Amino acid sequence: MAATLTTAASTQEKLLRARAASTRLALLGTEEKNALLLAIADAIDANEKSILAANQKDVDTSGLEGAMRDRLLLTSARIKDMASGVREVAALPDPIGECLAEWTKSNGLRIRKLRVPLGVVGIIYESRPNVTVDTAVLALKTGNAIVLRGGKEAAHSNQCLVEIMAAVRGVPEGAIELLDSATRQSVQELIKARGLVDVIIPRGGAGLITFVTENSAVPVIETGAGNCHIFVDETADFEMADRIVINAKTQRPSVCNSAEKLLVHERVAAEYVPRIVKKLMDAGVEVRGDGKARNLAGGLHIVPATEQDWHEEYLRLCMAVAVVANVEDAIAHINRYSTKHSDSILTHNEANARKFLRGVDSAAVYWNASTRFTDGAEFGFGAEMGISTQKLHCRGPFALAELTSSKYEIVGTGQVR
Kindly tell me which of 185 and 210 has the beta carbon lying closer to a second copy: 210
Rounded-to-integer distance, Cα 378 and Cα 314, Å: 23
Binding residue for a second copy, selected from 60, 214, 282, 307, defined by CB under 8 A: 214
Stretch that binds a second copy, among 164-172, 177-185, 283-291, 391-399 (CB under 8 A): 391-399
- Our finding on whether 303 is near a second copy (CB under 8 A) is no
Q: Check: CB of residue 257 under 8 Å from CB of residue 265.
A: no
- Our finding on whether 247 is near a second copy (CB under 8 A) is yes
3-class secondary-structure state, position 48? helix
| Shortest distance in whole angstroms from residue 44 CB to a second copy | 28
Q: Check: CB of residue 158 under 8 Å from CB of residue 6.
A: no
Q: Check: CB of residue 227 under 8 Å from CB of residue 49.
A: no
Kindly tell me which of 251 and 306 has the beta carbon lying closer to a second copy: 251
- Our finding on whether 182 is near a second copy (CB under 8 A) is no
Dihedral sign, CA of 254, 220, 118, 411? positive
Torsion of CA 378, 382, 384, 390, to 10 degrees: -60
| Shortest distance in whole angstroms from residue 410 CB to a second copy | 5
Stretch that binds a second copy, among 44-52, 180-188, 281-289, 367-375 (CB under 8 A): 367-375
Closest Cα to residue 151, out of 193, 222, 202?
202
Binding residue for a second copy, selected from 68, 240, 281, 318, defined by CB under 8 A: 240
Rounded-to-integer distance, Cα 277 and Cα 392, Å: 38
Closest Cα to residue 26, out of 179, 198, 159?
198
Say how many C-beta atoms besides its own lie within 10 A of residue 325's C-beta: 11
Stretch that binds a second copy, among 126-134, 297-305, 309-317, 369-377 (CB under 8 A): 369-377
Query: Which 138-177 positions form the footprint of a second copy (CB under 8 A)?
Result: none
Rounded-to-integer distance, Cα 119 and Cα 142, Å: 9
Kindly tell me which of 47 and 362 has the beta carbon lying closer to a second copy: 362
- Our finding on whether 199 is near a second copy (CB under 8 A) is yes
For a second copy, how many residues bind (rule: CB under 8 A)?
Answer: 65
| Shortest distance in whole angstroms from residue 316 CB to a second copy | 18
- Our finding on whether 351 is near a second copy (CB under 8 A) is no
Rounded-to-integer distance, Cα 9 and Cα 15, Å: 10
Indicate the residue type of 147.
Answer: V
Q: Rule CB under 8 A: which residues touch a second copy?
A: 23, 26-27, 103, 105, 109, 111, 118-119, 194, 198-199, 213-214, 217, 219-221, 237, 240, 243-244, 247-248, 251, 335, 353, 357-359, 361-370, 372-374, 378-380, 390-393, 395-396, 405-417
